[in-house]
A = this chain, B = another copy of it.
């Protein structure tokens, strides 16, 4: 297993994402499906390593952007894997009306995945086994505005282990936890780890096995190695 790999900055990651969808002609549907699948598989794998059984209650916290889309895809696959996702959507100032998100929500509803309109005051280990953090991804910067501040505070106060998609929500992508929010138990980096993950000591997974050679060459990046047919790797 290759143990050295690149950490990407926010700007570089945005360029790569743009390029994948423009010149390299990936659709957001494909990238999000593969990303969300790898998130669900990573969490499944992590839970199994801890000796877990099926039927885990996973509180999936869904933000307004692509990180939230990845979370909705992950919720759908977790349900197929035998777990019990519960979805909470947090929006500001109102729900986006994008077709893509409406579609992903409909897909979850048709699997009888539960949606809740309010977060409980305390997110307890009696109610949930994991929190899947899909609020902000690599495009977040600045300070944490309402209503996200309350949600992130509740997550930090909870004893439930948090698995963050790509970047822990509220962290600066380049500089890490400068806003002083929670530290997740687990992070699933997508495409490549971001700079904020240097020195992270929790469980670190990678997903998004779709980065083609032109990207690797152009940005001189070293990716973690996947094995066999796996869509994720434990780093």
B81 touches A228 (CB 8 A): yes
Q: Does A155 contact B (CB under 8 A)?
A: no
Residues of B within 8 A of A37 (CB): 34, 231
A81 adjacent to B229 (CB under 8 Å): yes
Is A40 interfacial (CB-CB < 8 Å)?
yes
Q: Is the interface of A mostly helix, strand, loop or mixed?
A: helix
Shortest Cβ distance from A200 into chain B, in angstroms?
23
A49 → chain B closest CB, angstroms: 13
A107 to B1, CA, bound (A): 27
Which of A139-147, A169-177, A207-215 has 4 or more CB atoms under 8 Å from chain B? A207-215
Mask for A13-34, Cβ within 8 A of B = 1, else 0? 0000000000011110110011
Q: Across the two chains, which residue of chain B brings its CB closest to A212?
A: B110
Contact with B along A28-47 (1 / 0, CB 8 A): 01100110010011001100
The count of residues in chain A whose C-beta lies closer than 8 Å to any C-beta of chain B is 34
Distance from A170 Cβ to chain B, minimum over Cβ atoms (Å): 29
Contacts of A221 in B (CB 8 A): none
The reply to whether the CB of A226 lies closer than 8 angstroms to some CB of chain B is yes
CB atoms of A27 and B110 under 8 A apart: no
Q: Check B106–A25 contact: CB distance below 8 A.
A: yes
Nearest-neighbour CB distance to chain B for A70, whole angstroms, equals: 13
Given contacts A33-B29, A80-B209, A213-B112, contact A107 B24 (CB under 8 A): yes
Instruction: Report whether B112 and A24 are in contact in the complex, using a CB–CB cutoff of 8 Å.
Output: no
Contact with B along A78-122 (1 / 0, CB 8 A): 001100000000000000000000110011001110000000000
Interface pairs (15), CB distance under 8 Å: A24-B107, A24-B110, A26-B103, A26-B107, A27-B29, A29-B33, A30-B33, A37-B231, A44-B228, A45-B229, A80-B209, A107-B212, A110-B213, A111-B212, A112-B213
Residues of A within 8 A of B (CB): 24-27, 29-30, 33-34, 37, 40-41, 44-45, 48, 76-77, 80-81, 102-103, 106-107, 110-112, 209-210, 212-214, 226, 228-229, 231
